[in-house]
A = this chain, B = another copy of it.
Amino acid sequence: MIGAVVEGDPEVIISAPAKIEEAGPGSITFLANPAYEHHLYTTGASAVLVGLDFTPREAVSSTLLRVADVYGTVSNLLAVYQQDEAAKTKREVSAHAAVDPSATLGENVRIGKFSVVESGASIGADTVILDQVYVGPNVSIGKNCVLYPGVRVLRGCVLGDDCILHANVVVGGDGFGFAPDPETGRYNKVPQIGNVVIHDRVEIGASTTIDRATMGATVIHSGVKLDNLIQVAHNVEIGENTVIAALAGIAGSAKIGKNCRIGGQVGIGGHCKLADGTQVQAQSGVINNITKPGAKLGGSPHMHYPDYLRSYAVFKHLPSVVAKLRKEIMELKGRMGE
């Protein structure tokens, strides 16, 4: 099935995958990261996937299965064991769902219990809407998507094909736009009449929120992966295959390039443009445009990350660094007759 070169007992029977440090008889595991190699010599796993050119330093009791791409093979194997809600559920519209007669459902669409599909919405073939989901008026969802329980996609938002939205994601809340009234100090709401457009193969983590644009669209391009509890504000644009970790906040109208990697709890300031391949260290804050592709950023406000680490290394000892300089100056003064 996986095209491996077998080294050891070819008759070994495998029932489930496991992590190398937890694996017991009957399980298959893998070794890709050299830092875990020591587990190979003590694991109880019946079989271990390793690279084609891996050479063990000690005796191995498990059967070795040599493959060209260890991570890829693991991923394929896990998919066999995957039994998620979408895979398990019957392809039907639940009698407990409320689907407006004007909505359009493709072939083989499932709508779960207590889910709502509002007027004018359309849902592509093979898409699974699990329970307690809200699909608002005129929303368009592509083919083969999965929307987990509690997802809310509000009026007029658009999803492409093969997207996964995890539980309690909100797409299309109003952007945070208010016009201050200089006389009263009150803030008047600026209506948010744009939408959110999400392209293909986008995965969005639990409880992440993506606001609709004031005008136009907040755009998430193909292949973007967002972790949990991320805030994406109105009129933001995120480029293809960019990955963002949990609790990051992207302020209004920021434009993030392709293939960027944004760490957890990062803040990207309003209207900032990040070039393709920008990498931002966790907890950093980016406050203006990054024009050079592939920059590595850290600190708040951001700076070149290696420079941040060098400055921070001095900061860690700042009291003694300053005290030493003072002492040397004092000694010089003393020697000059003070």
Interface residues of A (CB under 8 A from B): 17-19, 22, 71-72, 74-75, 78-79, 81-85, 88, 96, 98, 112-114, 116, 118-119, 130-132, 134, 136-137, 148-150, 152, 154-155, 164, 166-168, 170, 173-174, 176, 178-179, 185-193, 201, 203, 205-207, 209, 211, 214-216, 223, 225, 227-229, 231, 233, 235, 240-241, 243, 245-247, 249, 251, 258-259, 264-265, 267, 269, 282-283, 285, 300-301, 303, 307, 310-319, 321-322, 325-326, 328-329, 332-333, 335-336
Is the CB–CB distance between B168 and A150 below 8 Å? yes
Residues of B within 8 Å of A303, CB to CB, are 316
Checking B81, B233, B259 against A185 with a beta-carbon cut-off of 8 angstroms, the contacting residue is B259
7 contacts between A and B (CB under 8 A): A75-B191, A88-B119, A149-B152, A168-B207, A187-B225, A207-B229, A307-B316
Alpha-carbon distance between A164 and B154 when the two chains are bound, in angstroms:
15
Alpha-carbon distance between A98 and B326 when the two chains are bound, in angstroms:
74
- A17-B193, A206-B209, A267-B282 known; 5 new pairs, CB 8 Å cut-off, are A150-B168, A152-B206, A178-B243, A269-B282, A325-B329
> What 3 pairs across the A-B complex have the smallest Cβ distances?
A78-B191, A173-B206, A231-B246
Question: How far, in Å, is A62 (CB) from chain B's closest CB?
Answer: 16
Question: How far, in Å, is A271 (CB) from chain B's closest CB?
Answer: 9
Residues of B within 8 Å of A178, CB to CB, are 225, 243
Q: Kindly report which residue of chain B lies nearest to residue A241, judged by CB atoms.
A: B185
Residues of B within 8 Å of A85, CB to CB, are 118, 136-137, 154-155
Residues of B within 8 Å of A241, CB to CB, are 185-187
Is the CB–CB distance between A228 and B176 below 8 Å? yes
Alpha-carbon distance between A301 and B164 when the two chains are bound, in angstroms:
33
Q: Kindly report which residue of chain B lies nearest to residue A133, judged by CB atoms.
A: B132
Is the CB–CB distance between A311 and B318 below 8 Å? yes
Residues of B within 8 Å of A191, CB to CB, are 75, 78-79, 81-82
Checking B185, B245, B332 against A333 with a beta-carbon cut-off of 8 angstroms, the contacting residue is B332
Residues of B within 8 Å of A325, CB to CB, are 322, 325-326, 329
Is the CB–CB distance between B132 and A114 below 8 Å? yes
Is the CB–CB distance between B179 and A72 below 8 Å? yes
Is the CB–CB distance between B231 and A231 below 8 Å? no
Q: Kindly report which residue of chain B lies nearest to residue A333, judged by CB atoms.
A: B332
Alpha-carbon distance between A96 and B176 when the two chains are bound, in angstroms:
31
